[in-house]
Structure 1
Amino acid sequence: MGEKTTVHPGAAGRAVAADRPGDIRNVVLVGHTGSGKTTLVEALALATGALTRAGRVEDGGSVSDYDELEHRQQRSVQLSVVPVEWDGIKINLLDTPGYADFVGELRAGLRAADAALFVISAAEGTEGVTGATRMLWEECAAVGMPRAIVVTHLETARADFADLTETCRAAFGGDSAESVLPLYLPLYGPEGPDGHRPVAGLTGLLSQRVFDYSSGERRETSPAPDQLPVIEEARNRLIEGIIAESEDETLMDRYLGGEEIDVKTLIEDLERAVARGTFHPVLAAAPAPEGARQGLGTVELLELVTGGFPTPAEREVPAVTGLDGSPRPPLSCDPAGPLAAEVIKTASDPYVGRISLVRVFSGTLRPDETVHVSGHGLADRGHEDHEADERIGALSSPFGKQQRQLAQAIAGDIACVAKLGRAETGDTLSACGDPLRMEPWLMPDPLLPVAIQAHSKADEDKLSQGLARLVAEDPTMRLEHNQDTHQVVLWCLGEAHRDAALERLRSRYGVQVDTVPHRVALRETFGSKAAGRGRHVKQSGGHGQFAICEIEVEPLPGGSGIEFVDKVVGGAVPRQFIPSVEKGVRAQAAKGVAAGYPLVDIRVTLLDGKAHSVDSSDAAFQTAGALALREAAAEARIHLLEPVADLRVLVADEYVGPVMSDLSGRRGRVVGTEQAAGGRTLVRAEVPEIEIGRYTVDLRSLSHGTGRFSRSYARHEPMPPQLADRIREQAENGA
């Protein structure tokens, strides 16, 4: 890094393959929408020769093909992988969505990668380092993932590399701000008519050489005399930062003693610190001008990735167990080891069928072999556990619209696998004779409910299959068939996630659905004691119907359910018909007595009744029991009970006030707060579920994308009278 000046493009027109894990780098690009991730991926593909400005990838794809694919992926916001080659190293670039609704795709990218590039747009100034970006940085730090920062959009008028670097140091440096420092400084060209000075090149701080990109090709020159003081100051700071992270404890003493540390030693220490995740270099990048291949900073970035980022063999393999949950010895990234691979994404191709994007952690995956597919245990989200042996189809390397065939995928590599009909995102692929299950990665909890119904009878016939395929591709989505409200509910991460899912249903699976208001599972209960008499007497010639029963109903504490008590004396209601009365009461309770919601938490006491020796029957006393309960309800105060959720909101300290005020406006009760790490506060509250249907969207807006929350059912409790009256009125009007 900082020393190489020649370009080593990968071989275009063939699948990029690797023979050993040491020749692979898996790099995930992280950044919010508009930061320039996809543009950077294209620039790196051009610089390595994987794309050509002539308009064609050598094996039939074009730049426009690639753009179209990526733009479509950004609209449906899915993870995409682009393999390139540099200096004999295969680099799998994982381009992740920038929008918060698709954090599931981002987490899949983090799982498949061994290092991360945080892409920050200089066009947004210091605001480009958002709270959400800081949270992702902390998430990577928690798992020890090496990270570097790439500053984009330096060509914009308000871009200031120095200010943005200082912001990154403050945001990401933590206790050691000197661990976030630039390796290069931008070299600005002549001032234009608008007063803006474009970035023309980069100055390497370690090599003290200028890499000029103004001609469209990278050229090495010496710095001008007036640049030397700025270079010297930044260089000394960088050297001190590198030495502070060095494993050689004598290096600092030698440096402070005035010894000149040679550049080779500094680069080696820098690369080791980057690979360990203790030093985070800042670089700059820009797309190539029209007609050129090399974009500003692309060579420097590729040198960092190949020289500083760890190989898959240097990263721990996720823990594995047997199918029964029994622990297994830790695996290593060994192509000759036991097969352990993971599906990080699934998609459906109209011609090929289901395609699985797979990261191989151990062993070697080969075409046409049979593997064991192990489900991931997300039954609560509509993903049933499953185990199956399946023969895989062709292996290919993904790139734009092209699928380049691979002879094998070794440990550490990423490949597309065709024809795994049962595989879902998050599943484990292993050897049939020694099936394994990998520890799953953390899936975000979908908290936005979307109730749907088929648009037509034809759609209704295809809905079940379409939904099953949808959730198989996306484990961040939860499918619910609510038994209380009889609604089909898709739980999503946000509105954009919802829109993408519904569009996928329509365009990919041919199912048109309509969204309907989501209903919360309310309950009814008695607010006071009441009595009721059920009389069911009919005589229309022949066998008649005769049943009379008298009951008393009283409320019980929450969670008691329905209690039925028999206090009949003297055989007024024959013994064989008492269960019939109870059955009728419970059936009516399930239907509700006021607004059509189930009746709960009551004691029903059967006191008296009458029967006929010929005309009484089981059906007659069931009807009488239901009538008696309805009559008692007409004489009593009926409360509507609404579900209340326990809410745990984790939010940055500066947003605690607005969050608590917002919760109060939702009829919530804040029950406590406590300090959390990273300048955040955990707010615990109890809030009616009817008030938090869109809370995932509203909290994101309220906290500028930094807030998170979880919810769990607490209990049902009485709804305010005015709100209950409105719901009863809607029920009476058939709304």
Structure 2
Amino acid sequence: MVDPFVGKLSMFRIYTGEINSNSVVFNANNKKSVKLSNMYITKGKTQTQIDKASIGDFVAVSKLEHISTGDTLCDSKNPIILAKVDYPPSMENTAIAPLLKGDEEKISNGLTKLMEEDPTFLHKMDFETKQHLIYGMGDVHLSVIIDKLKRKFGVGVKLIKPKVAYKETVRKTVKVEGKYKKQSGGRGQYGHVWLEVKPLDRGTGFEFIETIFGGAIPKGYIQGVEKGVRAALQEGAIAGYPVTDISVNLYDGSYHSVDSSEIAFKIASAMAFRKGVLDGNPVLLEPIMEVEVEIPDDYVGDIMGDLNARRGKILGIEPEKNMKKIKASGEGFAPSATTTIEKFFPLFFLFSILFIISSKSNSNSGIKITSAPPAKPASIAIQPVFLPITSTTITL
């Protein structure tokens, strides 16, 4: 934990033996030895310094480096690793922004220190949506984190709804030409490429290959072609979202011995790539999450209705003792005493699902969410296409 006056405090329980304030202990998890300094017994806000501690004592030590929550400290001559606590996954996430400009670094440093003391808390930057995300066990947990951030580190944040990052891709193979030509006396610019753009399987990402034959484009300019394609890849062609699951093959083109340059081929290839996406029967992809909900039979009907309204697709229902387990994905549902529901859902509809399921089941439910391959939205009319969101994996 982080104390605003003492600094970092590491708290542990002694299972065997005894230690004093200048003992050297061995961290069996990372194989590093650390020297203890000031030791304390804590009672609420009161900290009493001690010189020695033995079996059963709960002790706090200040400024202990190379230690993480769950590590085992022992004698280096007899190393042992105790079983770690199996912490539950984060249940909810939200985006944050600083209340004052210039506080970004203080916020990041403060959250990192809070993450060290709380294994169920996580923060990270989503570079696709340009948002700072925090993950926790629920609204109350995240509220406590934000309060600690202000109280211990003196920085405030405001909550923002997370964005979801769509992707673009193509559905057919096309061959396209890109030519950039500026020749008006003196040295000009000339770049000319032919690209084959074709779809790949979901989750493959992007590949660039070249099959130039006979020196149609010198090797020195091919890097410029790839740079142009990769730059255009990030900007998309139909809605400004990054393009994925696509292969680009540079198979032909031409050059000018005087006017050609890397930048000319970069521009030409970007032009060709955008045309290839538009001609390749483009489609928007949305992040899809696999959801597993465990609920008492009495609440199955109400919760199934809500999940169906979010375009859930039933994967299976497993009856369990007094419960039902429903697995779902992204488009339909069916009931079954506890039930586990497994379903696929568009990520856009999942931001409020934890609260809805908890309230409709009187907090007598469990939910687990993992990522699945992205898919085309069932209906653009019911999807706010131009609202960016995030494709990061979230486990609730």
Which TM-score band applies after superposition, normalised by the shorter structure?
Answer: 0.7 to 0.9
SS of equivalent residue, structure 1 residue 441: coil
- How many residues of Structure 1 are paired with residues of Structure 2 in the alignment? 375
SS of equivalent residue, structure 2 residue 152: helix
Q: Which residue is 1:349 aligned to?
A: 3
Alignment partner of 1:631 out of 275, 286, 299:
275
User: Offset of 1:504 from its aligned partner?
Assistant: 1.2
**Distance of 1:720 and 1:603 partners within structure 2:** 25
Q: Which residue is 1:727 aligned to?
A: 385
Greater than 6 Å deviation, 4+ residue runs: none
Q: 1:615 to 1:651 in 2, by over 3 A?
A: same
2:345 matched to 1:701? Answer: no
Alignment partner of 2:345 out of 687, 704, 728:
687
**Distance of 2:123 and 2:315 partners within structure 1:** 31
Q: 1:555 to 1:405 in 2, by over 3 A?
A: closer
Q: Which residue identity does 1:718 align to in structure 2? A: K
SS of equivalent residue, structure 1 residue 469: helix
Q: 1:617 to 1:410 in 2, by over 3 A?
A: same
**Distance of 1:704 and 1:486 partners within structure 2:** 36
User: Offset of 1:470 from its aligned partner?
Assistant: 1.1
Q: 1:360 to 1:700 in 2, by over 3 A?
A: farther
1:545-598 superposed Cα distances (whole Å, 9 cap, x missing partner): 101223343333323433445465665434543453233223311332233322
**Distance of 2:220 and 2:102 partners within structure 1:** 48
User: Offset of 1:374 from its aligned partner?
Assistant: 5.4
CA contact under 8 A between 2:6 and 2:62: conserved in structure 1? yes
Q: Which residue identity does 1:625 align to in structure 2? A: S
1:211-226 equivalences under 5 Å are none
Root-mean-square deviation (Å): 2.9
CA contact under 8 A between 1:448 and 1:492: conserved in structure 2? yes
1:347-406 superposed Cα distances (whole Å, 9 cap, x missing partner): 22222222233222222233332223456xxxxxxxxxx554333234333323322444
Greater alpha carbon shift after TM alignment, 664-673 vs 361-370? 361-370
Q: Which residue is 1:521 aligned to?
A: 165
Alignment partner of 2:145 out of 491, 495, 501:
501
2:310 matched to 1:652? Answer: no
Q: 1:729 to 1:471 in 2, by over 3 A?
A: closer
SS of equivalent residue, structure 1 residue 582: helix
Gap regions ≥5 residues in structure 1: 1-346, 376-385
More strand by share: 2
CA contact under 8 A between 1:663 and 1:670: conserved in structure 2? no
**Distance of 1:730 and 1:403 partners within structure 2:** 48
Q: Which residue is 1:288 aligned to?
A: none
CA contact under 8 A between 1:370 and 1:432: conserved in structure 2? no
Q: Which residue is 2:232 aligned to?
A: 588
Q: 1:417 to 1:567 in 2, by over 3 A?
A: closer
Identity, % of aligned pairs?
Answer: 33
| Structure of greater relative contact order (alpha carbons < 8 Å, 6+ residues apart) | 2
1:479-558 equivalences under 5 Å are 479-539=123-183, 542-558=186-202
Q: 1:725 to 1:608 in 2, by over 3 A?
A: farther
2:257 matched to 1:613? Answer: yes
SS of equivalent residue, structure 1 residue 505: helix
Q: 1:477 to 1:725 in 2, by over 3 A?
A: closer
**Distance of 1:634 and 1:518 partners within structure 2:** 29
Alignment partner of 2:80 out of 436, 445, 455:
436
Greater alpha carbon shift after TM alignment, 504-513 vs 438-447? 504-513
SS of equivalent residue, structure 2 residue 263: helix
**Distance of 2:368 and 2:148 partners within structure 1:** 27
Q: Which residue is 1:600 aligned to?
A: 244
User: Offset of 1:418 from its aligned partner?
Assistant: 3.1
Q: 1:717 to 1:365 in 2, by over 3 A?
A: same
**Distance of 2:186 and 2:75 partners within structure 1:** 73
SS of equivalent residue, structure 2 residue 103: helix
1:80-99 equivalences under 5 Å are none
2:355 matched to 1:711? Answer: no
**Distance of 2:213 and 2:68 partners within structure 1:** 62
- Please tell me whether Structure 1 or Structure 2 has the larger radius of gyration of its CA atoms: 1
Alignment partner of 1:668 out of 299, 304, 312:
312
SS of equivalent residue, structure 2 residue 364: coil
**Distance of 1:468 and 1:387 partners within structure 2:** 23
Q: Which residue identity does 1:696 align to in structure 2? A: L
**Distance of 2:71 and 2:80 partners within structure 1:** 10
User: Offset of 1:531 from its aligned partner?
Assistant: 4.7
User: Offset of 1:486 from its aligned partner?
Assistant: 3.6
Q: 1:387 to 1:653 in 2, by over 3 A?
A: farther
**Distance of 1:455 and 1:724 partners within structure 2:** 33
Q: Which residue is 1:413 aligned to?
A: 57
More helix by share: 1
**Distance of 1:605 and 1:349 partners within structure 2:** 57
**Distance of 1:567 and 1:404 partners within structure 2:** 73
User: Offset of 1:445 from its aligned partner?
Assistant: 0.4
User: Offset of 1:441 from its aligned partner?
Assistant: 0.8
User: Offset of 1:515 from its aligned partner?
Assistant: 3.0
Gap regions ≥5 residues in structure 2: 324-337, 390-396
1:229-378 equivalences under 5 Å are 347-373=1-27
Q: Which residue is 2:393 aligned to?
A: none
Q: Which residue is 2:333 aligned to?
A: none
